[in-house]
């Protein structure tokens, strides 16, 4: 049958084999749909082997058994269902053209005087007529007495398009990212076995690179301790991470929520410390206040806290941000300074601030050497900056894109637009700078930190931030503008933070010479920089 159609139809005609179509009645399948230019469309039902009619029904032999069939009804219902589907498509502009249905019996011969009320002889093509099947199909359509137009070349093109479907789900970058996240979530939850192992330990430091699940473990440890009846504090340094932790824990059952979740310095204000100066003003006096004066005042206030306001355990996330003077108020705020729980989670590679601090107590060290949260492509790119070997267990994603430019901010803006055109939603995308802040970030911060960080959760806009404030946070797609004017002491750490914030799609914009100077040759190689990039 296929060979006969292929050799007899013209290049302008169109044939589909095994075309399925579904309506509210049932699922249908046309063995062949034949569109003939200058005629119309015919649905063909083919019944091979031995076929006959016993006066009541059509019959066919299948594997030695006689079965009842109804090829005419199959062809007719399929034709009507397919016609309705085609005509309902807005891309079909031909209206009601000539359609019909035909039964083909390639192994059976039918007498010339055959006739059934629902199937005249000209609607059946037997084995003797196969050499003329294209002509016969055309005649079925052109001999119709209905005043309907014939199918032209445009109609055939439209039929091809309609049968291809419409509104089809395209390859979706967000769907891929969500799949990776689901796998990463499962792997991250498996990390909780570490917390089972330290159940009897009161003083622990967990160290790991970006994407190793530290923040999950920190929050999970705080939840477990609170659930066990302890009064717990979950603290960090940065506004952004504190906003995330507060939002996360707010959804937990009341008995599992820590007594305090937020920034270290805000805890001091809650105790009654002096109102802090504007931290946006980086002067010698404000730095002295944040680094030394406020922590010392917090230590004095903590010493005077009643037992009911102290903590059984304190969990510190991103602990590498803490200065030496900050640990005294942390320890003093414990119910028992000698045996109270201290659980520290840190990444020395992300020590991006010009301060140094070490907990003044012995801690049992644990190391996380697995990256779970970033795609392998992203993790592989920033691994030279980690400072330790990492096993990469994240999902697969696109290669990291590097845009060589002397104007990182403008290039980054262009890349954000490209990501949105690629299919990413605004809520998936962040633009992070390593040097001066993006003008959009500056504008949003004029309304205060709370309003600014609430925009992190806004699903209608891209987030604009700085790597210093984005530690501990993630976005599915991140554009990093490496816009520092010259390398400084913490440029390498800033670059590490920026590159590790993207879970699925990473674009880096900057001066290749700066990347080489700060990241070294191995990072340059993994970002695809050649010696000629300038």
Contact 507, 475 (CB under 8 A): no
Write the CA distances from 249 to 243, 310, 333, 366, integer angstroms.
Answer: 10, 20, 21, 25
Helix (H) or strand (E) holding 185: helix 173-190
Q: What is the DSSP letter of 431?
A: E
Q: DSSP string spanning 362-387? A: --EEEEE-EE-SS-HHHHHHHGGGTS
Widest distance between CA atoms in the chain: 111
Distance in angstroms (rounded) separating the CA atoms of residues 366 and 372: 17
In angstroms, the CA 339 to CA 14 distance is 82
Predicted pLDDT of residue 75: 96
Instruction: Give the separation between CA 104 and CA 71, rounded to whole angstroms.
Output: 9
Tokens in use for 224?
A: 């477990």
Provide, for the chain, the percentages of residues in helix, strand and coil under a 3-state DSSP scheme, each rounded to the nearest 5. Answer: 40, 20, 35
163 phi/psi in degrees, rounded to 5:
-65, -20
Distance of CA 43 to the CA centre of its chain: 42
Beta strand 391-392 with 370-371: parallel, antiparallel or unpaired?
Answer: parallel
pLDDT value of position 277: 62
| 438 and 462 Cβ atoms separated by less than 8 Å | no
Cα–Cα distance for residue pair 102/100, rounded to 1 Å: 7
The pLDDT, as a whole number, for residue 487 is 86
User: For residue 197, what are the CA distances in angstroms to 33, 73, 191, 192, 461?
Assistant: 66, 69, 11, 9, 42
Q: What is the pLDDT along the chain (534 residues), one digit of tens a residue?
A: 999 999 999 999 999 999 999 999 999 999 999 999 999 999 999 999 999 999 999 999 988 899 999 999 999 999 999 999 999 999 999 999 999 999 999 999 999 999 999 999 999 999 999 999 999 999 999 999 989 999 999 999 999 999 999 887 766 788 888 888 888 788 788 888 899 989 999 999 999 989 999 999 999 999 999 999 999 999 999 999 999 999 999 999 999 999 999 999 999 999 998 866 665 556 777 778 888 889 999 999 999 999 999 999 999 999 999 989 999 999 999 999 999 999 999 988 777 676 677 899 999 999 998 999 999 999 999 999 987 788 999 999 999 999 999 999 999 999 999 999 999 999 999 999 999 999 999 999 998 888 999 999 999 999 999 999 998 899 999 999 999 988 888 899 999 999 999 999 999 999 999 999 999 999 999 998 866 555
Alpha-carbon torsion angle 207, 433, 479, 321, nearest 10: 10
Task: Please classify residue 320 by burial: count the beta carbons closer than 10 Å to its beta carbon, then call 0-12 exposed, 13-18 middle and 19+ buried.
Answer: buried
pLDDT at site 192: 85
Question: How far is 126 from 105, CA to CA, in rounded Å?
Answer: 5
Q: How high is the pLDDT of residue 427?
A: 95
Separation CA 332–CA 329 (nearest Å): 5
Q: Tell me the DSSP string of 162-177.
A: HHT-SSPPPP-HHHHH
In the chain, DSSP finds a helix count (H) and a strand count (E) of 18, 21
Q: What is the reported pLDDT for 280?
A: 53
Q: From 507, 509, 493, 473, select the one nearest 397 (Cα to Cα).
A: 507
What residue has token string 């309609």?
Answer: 162
Q: What percent of the chain has pLDDT over 90?
A: 77
d(CA 332, CA 304): 9
Contact call for residues 320 and 350 (beta carbons, < 8 A): yes
User: CA 419 to CA 434: how far, in whole Å?
Assistant: 20
């Amino acid at each position: 049958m296929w060979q006969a159609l292929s050799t007899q139809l013209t290049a302008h005609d169109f044939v589909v084999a095994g075309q399925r179509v579904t309506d509210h009645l049932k699922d249908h399948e046309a063995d062949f749909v034949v569109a003939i230019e200058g005629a119309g469309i015919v649905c063909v039902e083919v019944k091979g082997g031995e076929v006959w009619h016993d006066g009541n029904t059509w019959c066919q032999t299948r594997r030695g058994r006689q079965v009842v069939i109804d090829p005419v009804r199959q062809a007719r219902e399929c034709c009507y269902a397919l016609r309705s589907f085609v005509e309902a498509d807005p891309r079909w502009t031909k209206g009601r053209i000539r359609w019909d249905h035909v039964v083909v019996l390639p192994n059976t011969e039918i007498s010339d005087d055959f006739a059934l009320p629902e199937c005249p002889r000209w609607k059946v093509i037997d084995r003797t007529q196969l050499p003329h099947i294209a002509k016969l199909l055309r005649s079925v359509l052109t001999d119709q007495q209905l005043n309907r137009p014939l199918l032209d070349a445009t109609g055939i093109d439209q039929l091809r398009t309609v049968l291809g479907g419409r509104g089809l789900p395209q390859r979706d970058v967000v769907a891929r990212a969500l799949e990776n996240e689901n796998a990463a979530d499962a792997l991250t939850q498996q990390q909780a076995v570490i917390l089972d192992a330290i159940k009897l330990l009161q003083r622990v430091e967990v160290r790991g690179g970006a994407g190793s699940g530290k923040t999950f473990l920190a929050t999970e440890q705080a939840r477990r301790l609170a659930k066990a009846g302890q009064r717990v504090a979950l603290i960090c340094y940065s506004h952004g991470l504190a906003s995330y932790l507060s939002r996360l824990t707010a959804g937990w059952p009341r008995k599992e929520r820590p007594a305090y979740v937020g920034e270290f310095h805000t805890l001091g204000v809650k105790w009654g410390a002096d109102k802090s100066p504007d931290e946006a003003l980086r002067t010698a006096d404000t730095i002295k206040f944040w680094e030394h004066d406020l922590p010392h005042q917090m230590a004095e206030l903590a010493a005077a806290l009643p037992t009911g306001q102290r903590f059984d355990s304190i969990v510190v996330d991103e602990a590498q941000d803490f200065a030496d003077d900050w640990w005294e108020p942390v320890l003093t705020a414990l119910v028992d300074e000698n045996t109270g729980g201290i659980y520290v989670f840190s990444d020395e590679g992300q020590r991006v601030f010009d301060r140094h601090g070490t907990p003044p107590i012995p801690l049992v060290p644990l190391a996380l050497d697995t990256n779970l949260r970033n795609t392998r492509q992203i993790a592989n790119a920033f691994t030279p900056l980690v400072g330790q070997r990492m096993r990469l267990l994240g999902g697969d994603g696109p290669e990291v894109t590097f845009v060589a430019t002397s104007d990182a901010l403008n290039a980054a803006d262009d890349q954000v637009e490209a990501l949105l055109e690629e299919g990413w939603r605004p809520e998936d995308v962040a633009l992070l700078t390593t040097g001066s802040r993006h003008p959009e970030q500056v504008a949003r911060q004029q309304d205060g930190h709370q309003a600014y960080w609430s925009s992190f959760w806004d699903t209608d806009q891209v987030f604009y931030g700085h790597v210093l404030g984005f530690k501990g946070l993630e976005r599915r797609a991140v554009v990093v503008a490496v816009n520092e004017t010259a390398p400084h002491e913490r440029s390498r750490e800033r670059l590490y933070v920026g590159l590790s914030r993207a879970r699925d799609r990473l674009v880096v914009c900057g001066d290749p010479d700066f990347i080489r100077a700060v990241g070294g040759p191995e990072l340059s190689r993994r970002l695809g920089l050649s010696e000629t990039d300038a």
